[in-house]
Structure formats: structure tokens, C-alpha cells
Amino acid sequence: MARLLKFNIFRYNPQDENSTPHMQEFILEETANMTLFIALNRLREEQDPSLIFDFCCRAGICGSCAMVVNGRPGLACQTKTADLPQDITLLPLPVYKLIGDISVDTGVWFREMYQKTESWVHTKKVFDPSAVEERMDNAVAEQIYELERCVECGCCVAACGTARMRDDFMGAAALNRVARFVVDPRDERTDKEYFEIIGNDNGIFGCMGLLACEDVCPKNLPLQNQLGFLRRKMGITAIKNIFSRK
Amino acid sequence: MQTFYSDLLVIGAGLSGERIAVESAAAGFSVIVLSIVPARRSHSSAAQGGMQAALGNCAMGKGDSPDVHFLDTVKGSDWGCDQEVARLFADTAPIEMRRLAHWGVPWNRVVPGKSFYFKGGEKFEKYEEPEKEGLITARSFGGTAKWRTCYTSDGTGHAVMCTMDNRCAELGIDVRDRTEAIALIHDGERCLGAIVRCLRTGELSAYLAKATAICTGGFGRIYKATTNAVICDGGGHSIAMDTGVVPLGNPEAIQFHPTGIVPTDILVTEGCRGDGGTLLDVNQERFMNIYEPDKAELASRDVVSRWMTHHMRQGKGVKSPYGEHLWLDIRHLGDKHISTKLREVDEICKHFLGIDPRTQLIPVRPTQHYTMSGIRTNRDGAAYGLAGLFSAGEASCWDMHGFNRLGGNSLAETVVAGGIVGKKIAEFLQGTDVSFPTALVRQAVQQQEERIRDLIEGKNGGENVYKVREAMQDALMDGCFVFRNGKDLEACVRTLQEVYERSGRVSLKSNGKGANHELAAALKIRGQVKLALCIAAAALARTESRGSHTREDFPERNDRDWLSRTLAYWPEGKDMPELKYEPASTAWDIPPGDRGYGGGTIIPAEKLPGKAD
Ligand SMILES: Cc1cc2nc3c(=O)[nH]c(=O)nc-3n(C[C@H](O)[C@H](O)[C@H](O)COP(=O)(O)OP(=O)(O)OC[C@H]3O[C@@H](n4cnc5c(N)ncnc54)[C@H](O)[C@@H]3O)c2cc1C
Ligand code: SF4
Ligand code: SF4
Ligand code: FES
């Protein structure tokens, strides 16, 4: 006989004047290869169509479905119920604005992050459609791609003590984004210009280096290495700034 | 209710939508882009394999050119495509790939020297020339004569989507996520924007624009087994069809991908076979080399999907609680290859199957994957039927794919078509002034408010939207999958007609407030069943086999009678689509011939349609 799973799900619909924040219990029979994607959709379609949650690719590649599963931020679509105890508690990610139940607004947070970090290649070169592409070392290309694999799920930020305490802390995802452009030879920004963006307590010097971000990143991004890399680089830039100001 | 104005309204923030937005914004026009999810979560980012462009940099791509790419595309389409469009596409693709590199895509590059690759499970050696070092490299994909698929590891769509969205941020383009277009505003001749539901609050707004572009991607979700994201639900196609004057091109042309995993239908990339993976049967023996000695696993998708289904029907499938399947074997590619070039595949195997592809086989079977079908446009991306309405990407039938699109040609299409159509829209905007009649806008809003009220109050009946959707999905799986025949198609049409009738009686169980999903589903179910009926009716009418459309009762490709494109219209008040036809192409650079794979006989054309004598 399959397990009967007990789901405790956070409920609150800010658009409904009769709604108040509370936990609601659901019972669902487990089936083979069940993921939280399958489970939540069954709950919505069979038990309570008012349930609000986000999924898109359902394959662990788009980053839509991050939530706190039994205390730990992760992607719900690639979480198998078989790996969880019978009691499953689902909460929305902290830090982000709540849309309803376990859906949060990561989109706005990340859009603000692009603007803050100016998340694009800064170059004075103009594209010439008739020319052959500029060459790049394959190892460098792979290094850039490695950092660009972030799916913007928000788990790292949700797990970060600093980000929970301070709204203005940029978080590992933003710092990783900056690192991506620092290693890209096409980006002509200088260390000093990067320093303007992240060389402060909201940026790289606010990070306490406690590793929670890397632990929860579902894409296994090398966040600690990047934070270390930026801290060293920005530390040196800070010292240079002090001397150049004299 | 709020009203927003812009020169251009783009519905859909995938690669095609954002590419159009970039082109029009760069020309100085104001653009608003809508999307159900944050742009980077669009389905474009799920594409792993890569995008085709004849750069000819790598050793196995030597001698490649847009001409060869064009030829492969026409063959792939089974001569169902518009050859002028295919030509335009093949010629422009290399420029667009280089432009993407300039904007920031970290393409994999040529590494000089000796290296190994696999084909059909065997190991071969190749030599990359030093003078090509650092240029964009390519990998092999099904149905192509050369290695032509540009890639970034196995996250091509993700990397390109990031770059495009960065470009939008740089240009300050207004991309609004969690907004869903639920109806077009039009007067029967001209499109003036859309009515949009906010997926944060549930509020409706009117978005008025001189030009509107539908770039909402495919509609695979009307099938039960599909590789598509849950947002690929045909919403964009529905609102276009609802106008009664915009037709759907080739609804019967639906692609099935050979390697969806069992049971969840998540795709493992064609790159697996491109990089030398093989398909095995219940006895762990290869079979594609028997049916297709030349191309084997690398024949085009329609062909491989058919042979797989055929092989399973011969009793060579692997039995499982979820039905029969076959195996994909990438064990011989080795740890290094799998953990770098096929890392997403590795992760999918781990998370969704609990297996290690280095030592274990991957269970796969054909699954709905791509809609060649879409909003019919001309070569400029302008939709038939309504002035000011455009479409590009998978949502459209621009028609470079005909009856089967090649792997790597779709992602490339999004940026190539996006660039071309974006430019054409800018030209259109240059020469256009419109006024927005307030009565028309008010009426459009009221209509949608009424629809929503009726659903919430249960005015239409007591049908459950999820049950109706399931009935539609089951009907398509039974009657309109890899193999089709007259009897099953007739049954499918009959069932769908009942489902259509039920879809008019849906009402909500919940209160529909805020970001309510049940309401979103209920608002589009009727349109989805319309799409399903278009597929079934067009498939029943097309008494031949071409590309992905395979009639067991009409196995020949019939160029004599069917060198044509279906146009499915849904006039207001009707309960079945009206089917019309137009010539598949007017230019015939490559007259219809044998594809060189897939077998099958051809009934030749007496005269090429659309061609001036
Ligand atoms: C798993 C998978 C792998 C693939 N791999 C490859 C590959 O390797 N190579 C290749 O060439 N092709 C590949 N494809 C196909 C290719 O990815 C798609 O065809 C292509 O990305 C479609 O892009 P698009 O811009 O047309 O639409 P999408 O990227 O699907 O974007 C659609 C957009 O429309 C929005 N939208 C939808 N409806 C509405 C509405 N009503 N209102 C407002 N917004 C709406 C969505 O939010 C989204 O932003 C793959 C497809 C799948 C499913
Ligand atoms: S290491 Fe820094 S960014 Fe990561 S969780 Fe800790 S404080 Fe946050
Ligand atoms: S760095 Fe990792 S955890 Fe953070 S948003 Fe990106 S993918 Fe998610
Ligand atoms: S739904 Fe895309 S990562 Fe979970």
C-alpha cells in the first residue's frame, strides 16, 4: 500500500479580503516517481483549485518553482516525494514579495538586480554584420557559461542570513552575475567600475561567507569561489582607491 | 481599469518576442513586452542542443554553406515549406549567431588539434585546424549534412535567452512578467492591441498599440505527453483564432521527438544522438541502423519517431508500468563528455529517473515536442487577416519548417525571424497612424469581464475545467499521435466535438480571486479545444503522409494533390474549423524529391503549384 502523504501548505491570498495567513493540511496518496510538481498539481486539480504555486518547465531548468520544502529552499519540480518523510511542509521563499500561497515574486527582484549590476556586456565595439566573429578561447567561453547557468530561482538569496536581515543586500545570485561579466573579455568595464557596483556592504563586503547559498543552489554553481574571487579583487581595488585618492 | 499605450505590443518574451522588441526599440519605437513568466523562464531557455547556422568553422562542418543549410531545411520539411523563407533563413542565420556572440553569448569555440567523436556507437578521430581556433564551433544534429549546430555546452537556449534579456534590460525595454493576453482588440480588419489579465492581482487592463506581435511559443500542452513547459498552452493561437479572420497554418503538422523520458516526458536533447548516443531495444540491440542504414539514429525526428513506434509494435519495446519504451544509450561517451557537454541530461537522469547515464540506460519514447503549425504569416511576419498583427517564433507558421522542422532550426528561427520581422514591424510603424475608438476598447473589456463573471458565478454549467482538458488531451493522444488513420481520426473529431460542447459549460469551483490558476485555465480551454479540432480535422482531410503527418491508410507522399499548406479558420459562431489551402511554396529552387531517408513512395506532381508557367 502506497504512503499517504500529509502536506502542510502555507495559505494566504492577499487579493482576497477574507483570506488570512494560515497552514492547511492535505492528504494525498503517493504514486511511483512522484515529484512535488505532480503532487501539487493533483492537489489543485482534485482537491482545492484555489491553490497558488508556480511551475513552468517542470524539468529543473527554468527556476520557477523554488519553495521552502521541509525547511530547505529548493526546486519543487525536481524534488521526489520518495526522498521526503510522510509529513511535507511547504512554505513560500522568504525575502521575495508574496503573490499568494507558495508563489513569490522573483521576477521583480531579479529585474532590479539586472539594473543594479548592469547585467550586460559593456563594449564600445559596434557589430559588423559582414565580418567574421571575434575569436574567443574555448576555455574562457566555458568558464563564462559555467557562471551563466544560474536559473534565478532565488534559493541562494532565500537561504542567506544577510539577505534575510537586510533588504538591500545583493545576494549571491547578483554577485555571481557580476563575476560572469568580470571574466568575460568582451566586457570593457574596469575593476574600478565594478567596485562602484559591488564594493560596499550591500555587495561583496556584506557577505559573511557562511556558505548557505552554495549549499542550496540547485545548479551547483561555484558561488563560494566566485564570492572569494570578487572579495579579493575588490579588496585590492579598495586599497588602490585609497592610494589613488591621496 | 488601466490602459497602456505603446507603438508595439509584443505578446511573449521568449527569444522571438524579445528579438523583435530589441529590433523595434533600436529603431526608436516604444515597446511593451508581455509574458506569463519572467522572460528568462520562457521555454526558449529549455532548449539544450543548439542552433543551426552554416558557419563552417569546425572540421566536420567544412564546406558548409547557407545553400547546404537551405537544402537540408527543404528536405527536412518534406517539401512543405516556403522555399523563399527557408532561403532567407539560411542566409541570415550565420549573421545572427555572430551578432549573438557580440551581445554576449558564450558560444563553444574551435579547439585546434586532434580529438575524438562518436557516431553510431563507434569512435572516430577528427582534426581541427589551427587557423580556425577560437571561431564558433558546431556539433552534429539529426537531418543535417554537416555539423552545423552552434551551442553553449548543453544550455544553448538558456545562454541565448540570458543574453537577449540582458539586451532588453540594456535598451530599457518594458518587459512585464505575470501578464497574460486573453483577447485581441480588433475591428475585424485591424489589430489594436490586447486585453490582458495580471497574474499577480487578477486585474484586467487594455494594452493599445499600433502593431501587435504574437510570440507565445508552441502549444504542446494540449497533448498529454509533451516535452513542453506548462505555459506552452496555445493562449496566443487561441486569441488569434478567436478573431475569426486569422488562420492557423498546417495544424496537422505536429512534431514528435524521439527521446522524451518515461514516464515524465521530459526531453533529453537530440545532442545525445548527435554526440553518438544510440537507441536500443528490449534485447539491448541497435535497430535504427537496420531501418536507416545511412543516417541511423541521425535521421530526422519524424523518421526516428516512426521507426521507434514501429519497432515497439514489432514487440521489441521494453515493458513498463507506464507502457512500452526503448532505451537511449550514452554510456560509451564517457564521464568527461557526459559531465561537461551533456550535463543537463546527467541532471535530468539523476533527478527524474534516479539513474546514472554513465552506467545505465535511459528509458525513452516519442513525445509531442514542437508545433510546426502556427499563426499563418507572410514573409514579413504579418499575420493573414488582420493589419497590424504579426507573429514569429514557434507561435507562427512563417513557414520554413513545412511538415517537419530539423533540430536546431527552431531556436535559430526565433532570432532570425525575430530580427527580420522586427525590422518589418519598424517599417510598418513608420508608415502607420491609428486611432483607437474608445467604444471598441470598452466593448472588448466588457466582453472579457462578462466571461470572467460567468465563469465565477457558474452561469454556463458545472463542468470542471481540468476534466475537460484531460478529455481533450486523451482524444489527441488516441487519434492524432505519431501514426494516424481515417477511422481513428474520425473518432477523434467526434470526441473533440463533444469536448468542445462541454468546454462551453465550464465554471469555477474556487472564487477566482487574485493569481487564480483555475480561472486562467478556464479562460483558455475553449480556445484549446478549437486548436485540437483544427489538428484533427486537418489531419483527417490530408490523405497523404508528409513529414510528421503520417497516415497509415495513405502511406505515400502525394505531391500531385497535396503540395499545399492547410489554412484553418474558425469563423464566429461555428463549431468546426473551415479548411482552405494554398500552395506550399511559390518558389521551387529545389523541386520535390526524395529526402534520402525515411523510405516511402512519392506520387509526383504534374505541375508545381504557385509556379508561374
Ligand atoms: C525541451 C525542449 C528543448 C528544445 N531544444 C531545442 C534545441 O536544442 N534547438 C532548437 O532549435 N530548438 C529547440 N527546441 C524548440 C525551441 O526551444 C522553441 O521552439 C523556441 O524556443 C520557441 O521560442 P519562442 O520565442 O517562439 O517562444 P517561447 O520561448 O516558448 O516563449 C513564449 C513566450 O510567450 C509567453 N506567453 C505565452 N502565452 C502568453 C499569453 N497569452 N500572454 C502573454 N504571454 C504569453 C510566455 O510567457 C513566453 O515568454 C526545444 C524545445 C523544447 C520543448
Ligand atoms: S556566503 Fe554570503 S551570499 Fe552566501 S549565504 Fe552566506 S552571506 Fe549570503
Ligand atoms: S545562484 Fe543558484 S540558487 Fe542562486 S538563483 Fe542562481 S541557480 Fe538559484
Ligand atoms: S518548473 Fe522549471 S525549475 Fe521547476
Q: Is B259 in the pocket of ligand 1 (CB under 6 A)?
A: no
Residue B112 CA to residue B57 CA, distance in Å, equals 11
Contact A186 B162 (CB under 8 A): no
Look up cell 547556422; give the residue.
Answer: B53
Distance from CA of B289 to the nearest CA of A (A): 31
Q: Cα B252 from chain centroid?
A: 13
DSSP H or E segment with residue B321: none
Contact B407, B270 (CB under 8 A): yes
DSSP for B372-426 reads: --EEEB-TTSBBSSSBTEEE-GGGEE-SSSTT-PPTTHHHHHHHHHHHHHHHHHH
> Per the structure block, which three cell numbers stand in for A241?
582607491
Q: Which of A11, A51, A61 to mutate to test the interface with B (most CBs of B within 10 A)?
A: A61
| Averaged pLDDT score across all residues of chain A | 93
Rounded distance from Cα A232 to ligand 4 centre (Å): 34
Contact A14 B231 (CB under 8 A): no
- Residue bearing the CA closest to ligand 2, atom 5: A160
Pocket test of ligand 1: the residue of B42, B149, B196 to mutate, having most ligand atoms within 8 Å of its CB, is B42
User: Which of B216, B587, B522, B537 minimizes the C-alpha distance to B379?
Assistant: B587
Q: Is the dihedral of CA A152, A158, A159, A160 positive or negative?
A: positive
Pick left, alpha or beta for residue B574 (phi over 0 → left; psi -120 to 50 → alpha; otherwise beta): beta
Residue B12 CA to residue B452 CA, distance in Å, equals 22
Q: Which of B351, B469, B470 to mutate to test the interface with A (most CBs of A within 10 A)?
A: B351
Residues of chain B contacting residue A59, judged by C-beta atoms under 8 Å apart: 46, 264, 266-267, 348, 352
B238 backbone dihedrals φ, ψ, rounded to 5°: -60, -45
**What count of other Cβ atoms lies within 10 Å of the Cβ of residue A24?**
13
Contact A135 B354 (CB under 8 A): no
* pLDDT recorded at residue B17: 98
User: Residue A245 above 60 pLDDT?
Assistant: no
Contact A50 B518 (CB under 8 A): yes
Distance from CA of A107 to the nearest CA of B (A): 5
Dihedral of the alpha carbons of B487, B492, B498, B500, in degrees to the nearest 10: -140
In this complex, the residue of B153, B167, B517 whose CB is nearest that of residue A120 is: B167
Q: Cα A231 from chain centroid?
A: 20
Contact A60 B178 (CB under 8 A): no
In this complex, the residue of A14, A50, A64 whose CB is nearest that of residue B511 is: A50
Burial (CB count <10 Å: 0-12, 13-18, 19+), residue B4: middle
ipTM rounded to 2 decimals: 0.95
Q: Is B140 in the pocket of ligand 1 (CB under 6 A)?
A: no
pLDDT in tens, A187-200: 999 999 999 999 98
Please tell me whether residue B328 adopts helix, strand or coil conformation: strand
Burial (CB count <10 Å: 0-12, 13-18, 19+), residue B511: middle
One-letter amino acid at A141 equals A
Direct distance between the N- and C-terminal alpha carbons of chain B, in angstroms, rounded to an integer:
57
* pLDDT recorded at residue B612: 57
Contact B522, B464 (CB under 8 A): no
Pocket test of ligand 4: the residue of A58, A80, A93, A155 to mutate, having most ligand atoms within 8 Å of its CB, is A58
B273 is catalytic: yes
Rounded distance from Cα B44 to ligand 1 centre (Å): 4
User: Residue A246 above 50 pLDDT?
Assistant: no
* Averages of pLDDT over each 10 residues, chain B, 613 residues: 96 98 97 98 92 96 96 95 98 98 98 89 90 95 85 93 97 97 97 98 97 98 95 97 98 95 89 90 95 88 90 92 91 91 88 93 95 98 98 98 94 98 97 91 96 96 97 94 95 98 97 96 98 98 96 95 97 95 96 84 89 58
- Residue bearing the CA closest to ligand 2, atom 8: A160
The B326-329 sheet, strands edge to edge: B254-261, B362-371, B326-329, B278-280
Residues of chain B contacting residue A56, judged by C-beta atoms under 8 Å apart: 37, 41, 43, 229-231
pLDDT in tens, A21-60: 999 999 999 988 899 999 999 999 999 999 999 999 999 9
> Per the structure block, which three cell numbers stand in for A108?
521583480
Rounded distance from Cα A30 to ligand 3 centre (Å): 29
Residues of chain B contacting residue A64, judged by C-beta atoms under 8 Å apart: 37, 41
* pLDDT recorded at residue B498: 98
Residues of chain A contacting residue B266, judged by C-beta atoms under 8 Å apart: 58-59
Catalytic residue among B167, B237, B273, B306: B273
Direct distance between the N- and C-terminal alpha carbons of chain A, in angstroms, rounded to an integer:
76
* pLDDT recorded at residue B136: 97
Q: Is A217 in the pocket of ligand 3 (CB under 6 A)?
A: yes
Rounded distance from Cα A171 to ligand 2 centre (Å): 7
Residues of chain B contacting residue A179, judged by C-beta atoms under 8 Å apart: none
Q: Cα B322 from chain centroid?
A: 26
Residue B34: strand pairing partners: B11, B176
- For chain A, the residue count is 246
DSSP H or E segment with residue B332: none
Per-state percent for chain A, helix, strand, coil, to nearest 5: 40, 15, 45
Residue B51 CA to residue B48 CA, distance in Å, equals 9
**What count of other Cβ atoms lies within 10 Å of the Cβ of residue B510?**
17
Chain A with chain B: Cβ pairs closer than 8 A: 191
Distance from CA of B164 to the nearest CA of A (A): 9
Q: Is the peptide bond before B112 cis (omega within 30 degrees of 0)?
A: no
In this complex, the residue of B153, B166, B177 whose CB is nearest that of residue A145 is: B153
Distance from CA of B110 to the nearest CA of A (A): 7
The A72-75 sheet, strands edge to edge: A22-29, A4-11, A87-91, A66-69, A72-75
Catalytic residue among B257, B405, B484, B551: B257
Give the confidence band of A107 by pLDDT, cuts at 50, 70, 90. very high
Per-state percent for chain B, helix, strand, coil, to nearest 5: 40, 20, 40
B517 is catalytic: no
In this complex, the residue of A45, A107, A144 whose CB is nearest that of residue B466 is: A45
Q: Which residues of B486-507 are buried (b: 16+ CB within 10 A; e: fewer)?
A: eebbeebbebbbebbebbeebb
Contact B134 A106 (CB under 8 A): no
In this complex, the residue of B111, B354, B515 whose CB is nearest that of residue A100 is: B515
Residue B196: strand pairing partners: B181, B205
Contact B517 A115 (CB under 8 A): no
Contact B166 A48 (CB under 8 A): no
